[in-house]
Chain A
């Protein structure tokens, strides 16, 4: 992947040969680095945490290094405050901190709030979105809360649901973001954090009811997990940092590419994964599969503002996240899927046959897409094949054959994602085709098929 990036960047800038360094050597190299020269740093999450804990963050900050691909591995801390709060008064807050359940997350959140000028916020942990919405709508003075922090990987259905809930109730909400400072990387209360350009955050189109803080247009806060908090299989893909913005080379690169650096990084990830084989996505390599999905979503999402797609993609991520957080061997994908569907689709089902029935119904809805066939969009044939495989799977009574057909359907949907016009592998595509159709959610079906495959395996 770094080779791909070097190839792309090398078309614009003259690059020195790459160097591989130990953590300590990297720290020294950063300490003596010429901040006027453009640097690229590729590392993994664990090494980055080690480097920062060795005061490397100071040198990275001085050099102006910024994380270009935080959403691949990092998670964004969204801080929502009721409008009209006096930041000097004691306030009550809830925090959702997905992944780690360490109690000190409340302290970390409070530290971040202090940086935002809210000096006396008491946090409790809360992961139930509906309760967050209710409490926030009531406000702290009426027994609710004034602040809600959501720390989640993106795109986050929690953020989406929360914003929908509070703006629907016409509660004034302000999204607080950290003002960019000279330190692009910082540590607060033991939490390594990185600021990133707000323009890179394109997951949500904030409704009118959400006002942004005065410093919002240029920055947001991305908090990387503390050392050890990230699942092992999420640390394999490299993080990409550069100070090109400070040295002005970023504008040169992006003007040459006519595309953002973060987008190219996402594409390079994806292309690297594809080049190593689509079979990696086939659950036989769970490490790559999880990353593939994340990158795929990231790449797909970066240019999307289709709310329906947000729901579909969020559903898949939600499913994947729940699967990762349950104890090995005790995961029940059917239950997880049912919860997800209940939340997203209001589906009531009690057993596997209900899911199959529901899936049949959903497939049937898409059977007569003759218009798409007539319109002749490039991905229509793949779409049709994927739907046919899904239909064959749900109609198949023999377990082995059903699993085989589900796998075929899964591969078809992955192929469809690969053919997505929103540049998966950096290739220009002539039409957006079915990705513009409002009734199509391949990622959602991907999640459903994953769950059914897992359920089949466990039966």
Chain B
């Protein structure tokens, strides 16, 4: 049996961020992960580090996203300095582009409502009519009525982020164990847990963080944690590399540092189906070429579908087991935006042994889930 101070279950964007953050404290931290052919939501992320439009109905979430966006700068710089892997974080601000008048009006109304709810508090945005967009978004389509701009928005490379987190984690002395799907968690009399994995591997730990994506619900149950999550499929179209022309990320399209364009978004309720679907891909390309007609010439390099970890209101679910307070679970669909606060604040919560009361808003009790 491997003995750990803290075990993190799940090697995706959340688990890797927690493992990295926890590993800076000097204890024995283990990151336990499945293999290559599991759901692996982390591989399917658009890469936005986004604030605009978030938190309708829960201003605390807007504040949380904003806090993370600003923590991203030192977070990414430290990761890069330690590992040499560039995570390509840029914060030039972002545009929410609308492709018709209804969408434009709805978006502007939504942002106004958010500001009314949340108060200004650095919650800036600007409505930009089409004519003024041409300079910042060259090639903007003639049918686009306008967009909203928020200076806090940015983007990063989620795959490089995952790699850098795991590299830094190892450099800090953490142990990464793949191909170890957790089947059972057993609390130990007197404190701590035993973790049993498929294939026979076993771990013992004092503290436990469950960040296993869709697997968290099942694992959390055994420790009395009700985690209401369900899959929402998203598909993305990735183009070949092209000359760099889009420096601002948008809700529909962003261009990576390598020159590829990512086209999205989409949402389908199809259970655990992670196959792409033709009309969904086609509709993505239609919307994105309405926004940016010049994309039409580019070859589609690849497409993918991934399963977001969605909660009933779309906001994170963070909790600590009441029966076993050394166990925590964290779930959300914004693994990139929140990576910075996950690596810093949330890791601190685990080390200190409790989630601060100001973040009780993320507890699933808000859904009236039975304890």
Whether chain B is bound by chain A comes out as no
Residues in chain B within 8 A of chain A (CB atoms)? none
